[in-house]
Structure 1
Amino acid sequence: MFAENQALWWQPQTLLNEQSCKILLGPLHIVLQRKTGEWWLATERVPQSEHQHVELQQLSQWPQDHQPSRFVFQHEPLQFCLRPLLADRPVVVKTHQPVYVPPGEQVTFYISSPVSIRIELQQPNLLLQEIQTQRLSDTWFGPNTQTGELCYADKTQARHSKEELPKRVHKAVTPVMVKNNSSQMMSIEKLSLPVPYLSLYGLADGSLWTDQVILDHQDEAELSELHISKQMPAGSDGAERLAKPRLYMEKHGLFRAFSDLFAHAASRGSL
């Protein structure tokens, strides 16, 4: 029923008639069943259950505690596909403790953010549902209530070693290179990941990565710049692009957002 390499869980999967399956993807549980002329679908989030690896389970029957949504066809598709994609808003991540980058230093942090899943049927292609693997709270990012944008809020350990990254199948890792080219100590307490403007990649081990983000901080706030690099981290050869950016922005759009962020840093001593 399932693809041979279950680590690559975003690949198409086939269900035979009257077969049911359950997919455990971090805190998100997905139940699917193919029937004659129909597909059934149910989803739920179980926050206390974060599976480190995707689990695909074949079920003998539809679970009675799940109310299905029914999709009716003259000739039902044979396959389904779970397509990960990044959040539809920037994710403002707050560090668990302040992190300092001395003047002249350059460091790369690895910051994770939860993905959404598009549950699709194939042959013909049809989107059944798009759902967040983890529900995040809303937050406002900007220097005041008039300037800024609505974002999601999350927390991060701001790890700077790939080896320290935990295995979390429902999150994508964004490498954030911070260059402190100023004469001041840089304090990082929070930053905004521009995930709608990043591509998403899948690696052979089933992990998800995004384009690299580069922040270049100068003494003058207006000289702070953000770049999106298409270069994947070392050891990520053979990455498959799973999703294009949701949004494309004018050249100076992200520049202004992060200039506001650094201006805030200058006045409060935080990022």
Structure 2
Amino acid sequence: MWLDPQSQWWQAQTLNHQQVVRLQIGPLVVYLQRKTGEWWLHTEQLTEPEQNMAHASYLPEWPLHKVFSRYVFTHEPLQFCLTPLLQDRPVVVKTRQPVYLPVGEEVTFYISSPVVIRLELKQPDILLQELPTQRLSDTWFGPNTQAGELCYADKTQARHSKEELPARAHRAITPIRVKNNSSQMMSIEKLSLPLPFLSLYGLPDGSLWTDLVQIDHQNDAELSRLNIHKQMPPGHANAIRLSRPRQAFEKHGLFRVFSDLFQHTERS
């Protein structure tokens, strides 16, 4: 059982007969018990703002007052697995401070998003539930109510140094390389992470990463040219792919990546 916060918590684990385990991935908590011919399940979300660890512990018995769901079998499976997935919609992130990119500059931002957990039993494989590690609000992304799409909303620090990234087991990091090929300064306040088009990777230290996204913005264009590099950034060759994209991506396609809050600022 993984007890180290930096372990690969997505690997399948065996639960002995009558054994109870408490699993925590960030703010998501899962209780499981394997019994004769059935499994018990209880889930909850913690409200504390800084719940970033991945942790597992065995309990002597099922906790009192924890209402459970029962899954019944002729012969109950022996193992369980928590598989992280990316969100099924794009996530629109708003920067906590305005970010400016001068003419001709290129920068890589590291932006994280909370994952969804696919809870499965193994031997044989049976899906129990898909559980969000963190609940995000809905938002509309587009120039008006007729053009656009329904997304999730989140906030970001838009860090551009990997060394500044905090360790958060329940969030996947997306490297976004932005090139300002316009003739004016860019102000970035909101952008849309195209998560349904990305693969998800796990590193030996327990961190989660996605494909690298490259954005090329031109003059007076509502749409930016977007390219997805189907490989991990340099230095992460030992990662394993945990999930494939939910949707197919048209290579070098044009997408609305920035909202109407993406503006050109006049040069002085």
Quickly name the TM-score band, shorter chain normalised.
over 0.9
> Using the alignment, how far apart are the partners of 1:268 and 1:186 within structure 2?
6
> Using the alignment, how far apart are the partners of 2:49 and 2:111 within structure 1?
21
Runs of 4+ in 1 over 2 A off after TM superposition: 3-6, 49-53, 249-252, 261-269
1:130 aligns with 2:137: no
Alignment map for 1:1-271 (pairs within 5 Å): 2=1, 7-48=7-48, 50-221=50-221, 224-250=224-250, 255-258=254-257, 261=258, 265-266=262-263
Give the letter aligned to residue 46 of structure 2: V
After TM superposition, give the deviation of residue 47 of structure 1 in Å: 2.4
Structure 1 residues 104 and 267: alpha-carbon distance in aligned structure 2, compared to 1, 3 A threshold: closer
SS of equivalent residue, structure 1 residue 227: strand
SS of equivalent residue, structure 1 residue 255: strand
CA contact (8 A) 2:185 2:265 kept: no
> Using the alignment, how far apart are the partners of 1:144 and 1:182 within structure 2?
24
> Using the alignment, how far apart are the partners of 2:116 and 2:45 within structure 1?
12
Give the letter aligned to residue 194 of structure 1: P
CA contact (8 A) 2:103 2:182 kept: yes
> Using the alignment, how far apart are the partners of 1:227 and 1:235 within structure 2?
20
Give the letter aligned to residue 217 of structure 1: H
CA contact (8 A) 1:224 1:262 kept: no
Q: When you count helix as a share of all residues, which structure comes out higher?
A: 1
SS of equivalent residue, structure 2 residue 58: strand
Which shows bigger deviation, 134-143 or 242-251?
A: 242-251
CA contact (8 A) 2:188 2:261 kept: no
> Using the alignment, how far apart are the partners of 2:35 and 2:215 within structure 1?
51
Structure 1 residues 159 and 256: alpha-carbon distance in aligned structure 2, compared to 1, 3 A threshold: closer
CA contact (8 A) 2:118 2:130 kept: yes
| Structural RMSD (CA) | 2.0
After TM superposition, give the deviation of residue 153 of structure 1 in Å: 0.2
SS of equivalent residue, structure 1 residue 95: strand
Give the letter aligned to residue 26 of structure 2: G
> Using the alignment, how far apart are the partners of 1:267 and 1:236 within structure 2?
35
Deviations, residues 90-114 of structure 1 (Å, cap 9, x unaligned): 0000000100000010000000000
> Using the alignment, how far apart are the partners of 1:125 and 1:105 within structure 2?
49
Task: Flag structure 1 segments of 5+ consecutive residues without an equivalent.
Answer: none
Task: Flag structure 2 segments of 5+ consecutive residues without an equivalent.
Answer: none
Give the letter aligned to residue 126 of structure 2: L
CA contact (8 A) 1:24 1:51 kept: no
Deviations, residues 141-173 of structure 1 (Å, cap 9, x unaligned): 001000000000000000000000001100000
SS of equivalent residue, structure 1 residue 139: strand
CA contact (8 A) 1:22 1:30 kept: yes
> Using the alignment, how far apart are the partners of 2:45 and 2:94 within structure 1?
23
Scaled by the length of structure 1, the TM-score of the pair is 0.92
Identity among equivalent pairs (%): 63
Deviations, residues 5-64 of structure 1 (Å, cap 9, x unaligned): 770100000000000000111000000000000000110000206443311100100011
> Using the alignment, how far apart are the partners of 1:4 and 1:169 within structure 2?
13
Structure 1 residues 266 and 25: alpha-carbon distance in aligned structure 2, compared to 1, 3 A threshold: closer
> Using the alignment, how far apart are the partners of 1:21 and 1:90 within structure 2?
33
Give the letter aligned to residue 254 of structure 2: F
SS of equivalent residue, structure 2 residue 95: strand
After TM superposition, give the deviation of residue 264 of structure 1 in Å: 6.2
After TM superposition, give the deviation of residue 233 of structure 1 in Å: 2.1
